[in-house]
Amino acid sequence: MVMGALFAITFALVIWAAVSGGSEVAISWNLLWGYTLLVTAAVCVLWAAIKGTITHPAGLKNTLIAVCIVVVVVGAALGYSLSRDGLVIPNSAGGVFDDPFELVISETGILVTYVVAAATLVVTLFGEVRNALK
């Protein structure tokens, strides 16, 4: 039920943005909703990892390794994003996105997404090849 409600809210916000022709208010609400979902997901993942570690202490090593990998990937993406000076992205209205905070957050998110997508592909291929060779 919760997942259905989240999908309904997301769908309504996207439809609102599309119907309003991409009004600034609609886009802002979509961005705020996206950030809310992102933060909530991060908190839930951390809570589940902590709860799992408490209930099954044998998995502590794997949890710490996973947390370290996440910190390294996000830190590297953030460091790379912060090192890029003068980055200006054109927008659909003929202007540019030039707020440094927005650009760093956006680029960090994109880079982390690329790393996660590549890691998912590698793990999936490795797992399928390993299963085929058994």
- Given a cut of 70, whether residue 90 has pLDDT beyond it is yes
State the residue range of the domain holding 38: 1-55
Whether the CA torsion 95, 101, 105, 107 is positive or negative: it is positive
Same domain, 13 and 28: yes
Higher pLDDT among residues 11 and 64, named by residue: 11
Residue type, 41: A
- Given a cut of 90, whether residue 106 has pLDDT beyond it is no
| Total number of domains constituting the chain | 2
Same domain, 43 and 75: no
Same domain, 69 and 39: no
Same domain, 39 and 65: no
Same domain, 65 and 47: no
Split at pLDDT 50, 70, 90, the class of 111 is very high
Q: 3-state DSSP call for residue 21?
A: coil
Q: Are 108 and 74 in contact (CB under 8 A)?
A: yes
What pLDDT score does 131 carry?
92
Give me the mean pLDDT over the 13-32 stretch: 90
Higher pLDDT among residues 79 and 89, named by residue: 79
Rg of the Cα atoms in the chain: 19
Q: How many CB atoms lie within 10 A of CB 118?
A: 10
Alpha helices in the chain (DSSP H): 2-19, 24-55, 60-83, 100-133
Split at pLDDT 50, 70, 90, the class of 87 is low
Same domain, 73 and 48: no
- Given a cut of 90, whether residue 8 has pLDDT beyond it is yes
State which of 55, 78, 96 marks the end of a domain: 55
Q: Looking at the whole model, is its pTM more than 0.85?
A: no
Give me the mean pLDDT over the 91-115 stretch: 83
Same domain, 44 and 83: no
Phi, psi of 8 (to 5 degrees): -65, -45
Same domain, 51 and 62: no
Q: How many CB atoms lie within 10 A of CB 99?
A: 10
Torsion of CA 43, 45, 46, 51, to 10 degrees: 120
- Given a cut of 70, whether residue 86 has pLDDT beyond it is no
